[in-house]
Chains A and B, each alone.
Chain A
Amino acid sequence: MATVITDQGRQHVDRLARIWEERPGILGWITTTDHKRIGLMYFFTALVMFGAGGTEALLMRTQLIGPNHHLLSPEAYDEMFTMHGITMIFLFVIPMTTGAFGNYLLPLMIGARDMAFPRMNALSYWIYLGSGLLMYIALAQGHAPNAGWFDYVPLASKQFDPGNNIDYYGYGLIFNGISSTAASINFIVTIFKMRAPGMSLNRMPLFCFAFLAVAFALLFALPSLTVAALFLELDRQLGFHFYDVAFGGDPLLWQNLFWIFGHPEVYIIILPAFGIATAIIPTFAHRRMVFFPLVALGEILVAFLGFGVWVHHMFTVGFATITTVYFAAASLIIVIPSGIQLFAWIATILTGTPDFKTPLLFIVGFIVYFMLGGLSGVTLAAIPFDQQVHDSYYVVAHFHFVIFGAAVFPILGGMYFWFPKVTGRLYNERLGKISFWVTFIGTFITFFPMHIVGILGMPRRNYTYAAHLGWTLLNFIESIGAYILATGLLMIVVNLAISLFKGPPAGNDPFEGDTLEWSTTSPPPPYNYPVIPTVSSPYPMWDKDDRELDNRRLARGEGLLELGHETPATTAQDAIWDEILKMPSHSAWPPVTALTLFGVFFMLVMAHYWIAGGFLAACGLSLIGWHYKGVRV
């Protein structure tokens, strides 16, 4: 049940509204530190990036619809598949899950009023935007990265890729990494220190466990990419020899460093999707998650074990058998925590009384594709089989099923699920279901045939193929599937866009959700909750007593924290109330700092080192300004 505001409560609510009022206009958005506004900015930027990455995909599929086509030159095609990978992974999926969903929902789910570091949260967004701009400036100049999203050397070295395409890649990824590292730090501190008093760790929603796992994984995986890219740029721009056999270097060093990042990265991609699924399933199944502790443990184990398997991307490199066998075994072990979660979800739906509304349909689609993609992944742990299909379309099929089918479907379902909360309006259910089916079928038709064409010998990253090889019909089907898929995605966007203006009012809790965000208004007020919520279980909205208690506390004026921008800080494990924190509101320093950093990285790409140094000094000054008044901004 949602918060009821009495007349007495009304004066407190009004006071909070005045204190937390957002600055108006575009300046208000640029200087915002509110996690919800930042989440929305991430959302729309990521959506644009999704469109860009999707366009790149459609161009490629159109090129491949028949043999020997000339829509894209080989150079253009190489830039397309590279930018598609970079965009989808670094500029769409991670920002959408962590930046949009994580930022918007995490404080709401733990009963807080904002993230632990609101200004750094804004900084993460502006840096993300800057890194996206940097990549697309590259494309606009015709110098987009063109050696694949994992950019193997020596192909990506100065000798074989002399323009600055790869420099945009190297520095762009380091720049983007700063955004994600800052976001991870923010998430971890928020989850550990900012939960509502009484929300001990075992009462934290599973969504939050997933994001905790993601944040730790990002924190420890990104340094490997940073080092790899740093070495790459030192080799390319300053003539160092990390990857250069002639001088004692090794191209495999790049592969190892990249995949030590790259494999955890794919679990980072999918774990938030698990989190979204664990939020949607109990709500629509009308029951608690089966085996909650095991699911939480599974989420953390997947993130942890994901650090030990990276060599399975390198089974054909020629390592000793013992090495490959060890990593195959480690890769197989991850199936267990994934399987636990999968069957917990299925069991929850099976034993509940499920309402197959659009969000749940997308989660069912996610379960289907996670199974299919997971099973094809298991086959890839069979080393002799992998050594046949590595770098063929079989692998492309596998990872698109798990990335698109299993990571993006919950994003789409989550968009529908939280649309009423964010906008205050309901989406159109019928169109929602139709959009699901079109997307589901389109995904299948696009990516399933890729398994077959891969086994038939079609390698990845080929800008065209000969007519007599027997790949033509399958490619044709895949391309048609891509158009169907694009249509389904467009239907989702259109549904939500129209519903934004025409949808009926949603109220606080249209789906009888289980987590705290459903107790507050739709959309939530800037201060999230008038009263810091009382929590006794991971399903706070289903604890009617606690919610009634909160209503009484609001009427009595208790637990309001209305002396400024205030929110509680609690202890890490048991959430004992420890301090009342003053939160910053509205600051120009995050976008200014991000701008100076953009200057640093852009100048590094251009090899203007002194100017880059100048921008770095400017960044330092900006950080001084940031801390100048402490929290009183």
Chain B
Amino acid sequence: MTEPSSRAHRGLHPPQVTRSSAAFTASAAGRVARQRLAQPNGWWGMALFLCAEVALFGTMISSYFYLDFDAHRWPPAGIPDPSVLWPSIGTAVLVAMSFPMWLAARSAIAGRRGRVLGLVSGAMIVQGCYLGLQIILLIQDLHKFKPQGSAYGSIYYTLLVAHHAHVLFGLLLDLTILVFVSFRGLTNYWLIGVRSLALYWHVVNVIAVFVLVVTLAPSL
């Protein structure tokens, strides 16, 4: 598993350089994960993708305030101020799911496949309920005002739907992880997948808080 070391390049061949992709069992993958000095490439990739998504939401939120500052009345006449209670409860529940996700990542590094599956499926159910709640709230809003009625409606619904789309994508990622970790096992590849999934949810949850505060801003 390791390269022969040579005095000529101390530091170039540390004794524990692993062939990480050869780790197919949960315990082997966990050992590889604990021995790594740097974050794995797949995790880096997810982190950078999330940078772009943060920039995306930052742009949309800035656009919200740009249109807000331009307007005389915000929301315009005829559109009620957004309701605060249920969206806040929903978002709090979603953000709480970062905890099981974090635990799942730690369990993966510990090589505990069963715990990973349990934590991810539990979180997934709650996240699914969150999405369901948000869709109900969205439909209720649509009865009061439409996106085609005003710039306010346009940015309000676009910001919300963009966020919900990210939650939906997260649910699909949850499902993918569950299926592959169940059938393929907690290999090195899927361990990195679990860690990346947890990172995804942490960032989406932070974005959820921002989106909540922004869309509720007229009522706060």
Contact with A along B61-82 (1 / 0, CB 8 A): 0010011001100001000000
Q: Is the CB of A193 within 8 A of B19?
A: no
Query: Counting CB contacts under 8 A, is B140 at the interface?
Result: no
Report which of B37, B40, B53, B172 forms a contact with A576, defined as CB distance below 8 A: B37
Q: Is the CB of B48 within 8 A of A219?
A: yes
Q: Which residues of B lie under 8 Å from residue A576 when comparing CB positions?
A: 11, 14, 37
Q: Is the CB of B49 within 8 A of A572?
A: no
Q: Which residues of A lie under 8 Å from residue B187 when comparing CB positions?
A: 630
Q: Is the CB of B38 within 8 A of A247?
A: no
CA distance A222 to B151 in the complex (A): 23
CA distance A576 to B123 in the complex (A): 37
Query: Counting CB contacts under 8 A, is A569 at the interface?
Result: yes
Report which of B14, B48, B155, B184 forms a contact with A630, defined as CB distance below 8 A: B184
Contacts A577-B13, A580-B20 known; A572 to B38 CB distance under 8 Å?
yes
Query: Counting CB contacts under 8 A, is A558 at the interface?
Result: yes
Q: Which residues of B lie under 8 Å from residue A244 when comparing CB positions?
A: 151
Query: Counting CB contacts under 8 A, is A62 at the interface?
Result: no
Nearest-neighbour CB distance to chain A for B33, whole angstroms, equals 10
Q: Which of chain B's residues has its CB closest to A235's CB?
A: B154
Q: Which of chain A's residues has its CB closest to B19's CB?
A: A580
Q: Which residues of A lie under 8 Å from residue B59 when comparing CB positions?
A: 223-224, 227, 257, 260
Which of B20, B52, B71 is the most central at the interface, judged by chain A CB atoms within 10 Å of its CB? B52
Q: Which residues of B lie under 8 Å from residue A559 when comparing CB positions?
A: 3, 12-13
CA distance A240 to B190 in the complex (A): 41
Q: Is the CB of B20 within 8 A of A581?
A: yes
Contact with B along A620-633 (1 / 0, CB 8 A): 10001001001100
Q: Which residues of A lie under 8 Å from residue B14 when comparing CB positions?
A: 576-577
CA distance A244 to B13 in the complex (A): 62
Q: Is the CB of A534 within 8 A of B9?
A: yes
Q: Which residues of B lie under 8 Å from residue A186 when comparing CB positions?
A: 45
Nearest-neighbour CB distance to chain A for B174, whole angstroms, equals 14
Q: Which residues of B lie under 8 Å from residue A538 when comparing CB positions?
A: none
Contacts A198-B9, A231-B158, A579-B36 known; A248 to B52 CB distance under 8 Å?
no
CA distance A220 to B36 in the complex (A): 29
Contact with B along A558-581 (1 / 0, CB 8 A): 110001001011111000111111
Q: Is the CB of A198 within 8 A of B52?
A: no
Q: Which residues of A lie under 8 Å from residue B210 when comparing CB positions?
A: none
CA distance A240 to B147 in the complex (A): 6
Q: Is the CB of B150 within 8 A of A241?
A: yes
Query: Counting CB contacts under 8 A, is A500 at the interface?
Result: no
Q: Which residues of B lie under 8 Å from residue A571 when comparing CB positions?
A: 37-38
Nearest-neighbour CB distance to chain B for A107, whole angstroms, equals 13
**Which residues of chain B from 11 to 37 have any CB-CB distance to chain A below 8 Å in the complex?**
11-14, 17-22, 32, 36-37
**Which residues of chain B from 142 to 161 have any CB-CB distance to chain A below 8 Å in the complex?**
147-155, 158
Report which of A194, A230, A247 forms a contact with B149, defined as CB distance below 8 A: A247
Q: Is the CB of A627 within 8 A of B180?
A: yes
Q: Is the CB of B154 within 8 A of A234?
A: yes
Q: Which of chain A's residues has its CB closest to B190's CB?
A: A630
Query: Counting CB contacts under 8 A, is B136 at the interface?
Result: no
Nearest-neighbour CB distance to chain A for B32, whole angstroms, equals 8
Q: Which residues of B lie under 8 Å from residue A52 when comparing CB positions?
A: none
Contact with B along A597-633 (1 / 0, CB 8 A): 0000000000000000000000010001001001100
Nearest-neighbour CB distance to chain A for B145, whole angstroms, equals 12
Name the prevailing secondary structure of the B interface residues.
helix
Query: Counting CB contacts under 8 A, is A185 at the interface?
Result: yes
Contacts A239-B148, A241-B150, A630-B184 known; A253 to B67 CB distance under 8 Å?
yes
Contact with B along A233-268 (1 / 0, CB 8 A): 011001111101001111001001100100000000
Contact with B along A98-116 (1 / 0, CB 8 A): 0000000000000000001
Query: Counting CB contacts under 8 A, is A382 at the interface?
Result: no
Query: Counting CB contacts under 8 A, is B56 at the interface?
Result: yes
Report which of B147, B184, B190 forms a contact with A238, defined as CB distance below 8 A: B147
Report which of A197, A249, A568, A570 forms a contact with B151, defined as CB distance below 8 A: A249
Q: How many residues of A contact B (CB 8 A)?
A: 62
Query: Counting CB contacts under 8 A, is A188 at the interface?
Result: yes
CA distance A629 to B19 in the complex (A): 17
Report which of B51, B60, B149, B184 forms a contact with A220, defined as CB distance below 8 A: B51
Query: Counting CB contacts under 8 A, is A511 at the interface?
Result: no
Q: Which of chain B's residues has its CB closest to A561's CB?
A: B3
Q: Is the CB of B41 within 8 A of A630?
A: no
Contacts A193-B41, A193-B44, A563-B19 known; A227 to B11 CB distance under 8 Å?
no
Q: Is the CB of A558 within 8 A of B6?
A: yes
CA distance A579 to B149 in the complex (A): 56
Q: Which residues of A lie under 8 Å from residue B41 when comparing CB positions?
A: 116-117, 189, 193-194, 569, 581
Contact with B along A207-233 (1 / 0, CB 8 A): 000000000000110111011001100
Nearest-neighbour CB distance to chain A for B120, whole angstroms, equals 16
Q: Which residues of B lie under 8 Å from residue A120 when comparing CB positions?
A: 45
Contact with A along B184-207 (1 / 0, CB 8 A): 100101100100000000000000
Q: Which residues of B lie under 8 Å from residue A630 when comparing CB positions?
A: 21, 184, 187, 189-190
Q: Is the CB of B55 within 8 A of A223?
A: yes
Query: Counting CB contacts under 8 A, is A542 at the interface?
Result: no
CA distance A223 to B166 in the complex (A): 15
Contacts A227-B60, A239-B148 known; A250 to B48 CB distance under 8 Å?
no
Nearest-neighbour CB distance to chain B for A338, whole angstroms, equals 25
CA distance A219 to B147 in the complex (A): 29
Q: Is the CB of A240 within 8 A of B148?
A: yes
Q: Is the CB of A248 within 8 A of B56?
A: no
Contact with B along A458-501 (1 / 0, CB 8 A): 00000000000000000000000000000000000000000000
Q: Which of chain B's residues has its CB closest to A224's CB?
A: B59
Contacts A231-B158, A248-B150 known; A219 to B45 CB distance under 8 Å?
no
Nearest-neighbour CB distance to chain B for A188, whole angstroms, equals 6
CA distance A256 to B59 in the complex (A): 10
Q: Which residues of A lie under 8 Å from residue B154 when comparing CB positions?
A: 231, 234-235, 240-242, 247, 249
Query: Counting CB contacts under 8 A, is B8 at the interface?
Result: yes
Contacts A219-B52, A631-B189 known; A577 to B151 CB distance under 8 Å?
no
Q: Is the CB of B63 within 8 A of A181?
A: no
CA distance A241 to B63 in the complex (A): 12
Report which of A185, A198, A224, A230 forms a contact with B12, defined as CB distance below 8 A: A198
Q: Which residues of A lie under 8 Å from residue B149 when comparing CB positions?
A: 241, 247
**Which residues of chain A from 1 to 26 have any CB-CB distance to chain B below 8 Å in the complex?**
none
Contacts A242-B63, A630-B184 known; A117 to B45 CB distance under 8 Å?
yes
**Given A185-B49, A244-B151, A579-B32; 15 other pairs, CB 8 A cutoff:** A117-B45, A193-B41, A223-B55, A227-B56, A239-B148, A241-B150, A241-B153, A248-B70, A250-B67, A250-B151, A577-B13, A578-B37, A578-B38, A582-B19, A582-B22
Question: Can you list the 4 inter-chain pairs with the closest CB atoms, starting with the nearest?
Answer: A248-B151, A582-B21, A630-B189, A240-B154
Q: What are 28 A-B residue pairs whose CB atoms fall within 8 Å in the complex? A: A116-B41, A117-B41, A181-B49, A185-B52, A198-B9, A198-B11, A219-B51, A220-B55, A222-B52, A227-B56, A230-B158, A231-B154, A241-B154, A242-B155, A247-B149, A248-B70, A249-B154, A253-B66, A253-B67, A256-B66, A549-B8, A572-B38, A577-B13, A578-B37, A579-B36, A580-B20, A581-B41, A582-B20
Residues in chain B within 8 A of chain A (CB atoms): 3-4, 6, 8-9, 11-14, 17-22, 32, 36-38, 40-41, 44-45, 48-49, 51-53, 55-56, 58-60, 63, 66-67, 70-71, 76, 147-155, 158, 172, 176, 180, 184, 187, 189-190, 193
